[in-house]
């Protein structure tokens, strides 16, 4: 067996890159293991390639809104060219990451990793590797829905790899993936239906602002059905038939593509974490406040695998910085996710940071609310956008902002001027 590594990272996404580089700079011997191309979900199969598609859809949608306001002619999305634009970003990523690891003296292995003991993993095609510490940063996978025909679902990665865009698309779920992908597909000319089990879409965002955003779905021709459960998916000669139900009434939808947009979760059974003595409870690793396994102190977790903060790339990076400091200097840093912003890149986007109104009331906070739908503000008018609004929660005693919730053009990068106006 090879000499033990000081740290072995399972996964090669954002958390893996940040943590491995930091501990390697301190002189540790480090290895990274992933069965897929180096880069992780965000850079290769998630947020970054999605934003490349959003850029094209947003340009066309903006031009459409500006018709009669100085812009003439028709624009459309050329899906094949847009996907080539996306690949111009994603294709070089694995090679760049491989070179970066090599330059820093970090060993990178390709293969499935499974724990075989408290300090060993078996890597398919490589053999058994031993380490003093481990970081589980393997991300998440689409949750299993447990319905007949589930194998016909295409996940977000599959959608982002489509060479041509089907005419009829159905999204199962009503979160980030459904909201963002439905806007991209609708602008590109697809007929889109969303089936959401819950009472509303985007439940992680303020309900008032989500309500203001929903007309944007309608204007794009997206059919949104809430309080609707998907019961089965059947293959037909023309495509797929999705059987669903709402308020006890059966429904059926004939479509060309069915997209899994019902959430993601890590699959620890594939890592065989039990062999390492790592406890799992209700599908989550049992971690202490230092992102460390409570049952095997040699094992840490970050990002989606840790499931401690919001499932966002900046959280993965933040987790990695925290646990790297704890590994190098002893456990002393704890995570604090209170200032982490969230954005759904719909058209227009919706954004949130801090506590929600519901959370603030549940905690008994004393606050005042400034809330308004303001399509007449300059930021909305210059973009010919009818959806623009905000809700800001301010502490009554300190005047500190407890939470800010925004919807409209460029709210993902809102300026201090606009924020001050809202208060």
- Domains of the chain are 7-50+83-140+266-329 (3.50.50.60), 150-262 (3.50.50.60), 348-422 (3.30.390.30)
User: Can you give the pLDDT at residue 417?
Assistant: 41
Is residue 194 classed as helix, strand or coil in its secondary structure? strand
| 0.95 surpassed by pTM | no
pLDDT along the chain (423 residues), means of 10: 90 96 98 95 93 97 96 95 97 96 97 97 96 96 96 96 97 97 98 97 97 97 98 97 97 98 92 97 95 97 95 94 97 93 96 96 96 96 96 96 96 62 43
Task: Calculate the CA dihedral of residues 13, 18, 21, 27 and round it to 10 degrees.
Answer: -120
For residue 207, list its beta bridge partners: none
- CB of 111 closer than 8 Å to CB of 138: no
Which helix (H) or strand (E) segment holds residue 177: the answer is: helix 176-187
Residue 38 CA to residue 253 CA, distance in Å, equals: 38
Eight-class DSSP state of 361: H
User: Can you give the pLDDT at residue 267?
Assistant: 85
Q: How far apart are the first and last CA of the chain?
A: 62
Residue 392 CA to residue 360 CA, distance in Å, equals: 12
Write the CB contacts of 358 (distance below 8 Å, at least 6 apart in sequence).
none
φ, ψ at 25 (rounded to 5°): -65, -20
- CB of 92 closer than 8 Å to CB of 77: no
- The burial of 238, by beta-carbon neighbours within 10 Å (0-12 exposed, 13-18 middle, 19 or more buried), is given as exposed
User: Can you give the pLDDT at residue 414?
Assistant: 77
Going by their DSSP bridges, the two strands 257-260 and 120-123 should be labelled as unpaired
Listed residue (170, 227, 229) closest to 200, CA to CA = 227
């Amino acid at each position: 067996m090879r000499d033990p590594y000081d740290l072995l990272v399972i996964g090669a996404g954002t958390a893996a890159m940040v943590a491995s580089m930091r501990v390697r700079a301190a002189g540790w011997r480090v290895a990274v293991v992933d069965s897929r191309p180096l880069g992780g979900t965000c850079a290769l199969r998630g947020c970054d390639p999605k934003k490349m598609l959003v850029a094209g859809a947003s340009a066309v949608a903006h031009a459409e809104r500006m018709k009669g306001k100085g812009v003439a002619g028709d624009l459309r999305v050329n899906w094949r060219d847009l996907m080539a634009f996306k690949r111009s970003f994603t294709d070089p990523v694995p090679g760049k990451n491989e070179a970066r690891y090599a330059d820093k003296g970090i060993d990178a292995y390709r293969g499935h990793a499974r724990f075989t003991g408290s300090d060993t993993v078996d890597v398919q095609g490589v053999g058994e590797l031993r380490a003093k510490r481990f970081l589980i940063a393997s991300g998440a996978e689409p949750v299993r829905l447990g319905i007949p025909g589930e194998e016909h679902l295409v996940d977000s990665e599959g959608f982002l790899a489509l060479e041509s865009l089907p005419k009829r698309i159905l999204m199962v779920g009503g979160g980030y993936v459904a909201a963002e992908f439905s806007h991209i597909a609708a602008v590109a000319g697809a007929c889109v239906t969303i089936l959401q089990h819950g009472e509303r879409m985007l439940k992680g965002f303020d309900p008032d602002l989500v309500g203001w955003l929903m007309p944007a779905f309608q204007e794009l021709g997206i059919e949104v059905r809430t309080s609707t459960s998907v019961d089965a998916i059947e293959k037909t000669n023309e495509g797929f038939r999705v059987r669903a139900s709402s308020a006890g009434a059966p429904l059926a939808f004939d479509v060309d593509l069915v997209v899994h947009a019902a959430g993601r979760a890590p699959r620890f059974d594939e890592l065989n974490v039990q062999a390492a003595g790592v406890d799992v409870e209700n599908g989550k690793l049992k971690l202490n406040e230092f992102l460390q396994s409570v049952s095997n102190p040699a094992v840490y977790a970050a990002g989606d695998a840790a499931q401690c903060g919001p499932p966002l790339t900046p959280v993965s990076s933040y987790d990695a910085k925290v646990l790297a400091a704890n590994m190098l200097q002893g456990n002393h840093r704890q995570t604090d996710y209170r200032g982490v912003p969230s954005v759904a890149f719909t058209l227009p986007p919706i954004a949130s940071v801090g506590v929600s109104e519901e959370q603030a009331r549940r905690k008994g906070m004393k606050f005042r609310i400034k809330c308004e739908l303001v399509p007449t503000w300059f930021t909305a008018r210059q973009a010919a956008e009818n959806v623009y609004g905000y809700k800001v929660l301010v502490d009554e005693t300190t005047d500190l902002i407890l939470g800010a919730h925004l919807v409209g053009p460029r709210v993902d990068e809102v300026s201090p001027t606009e924020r001050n106006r809202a208060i």
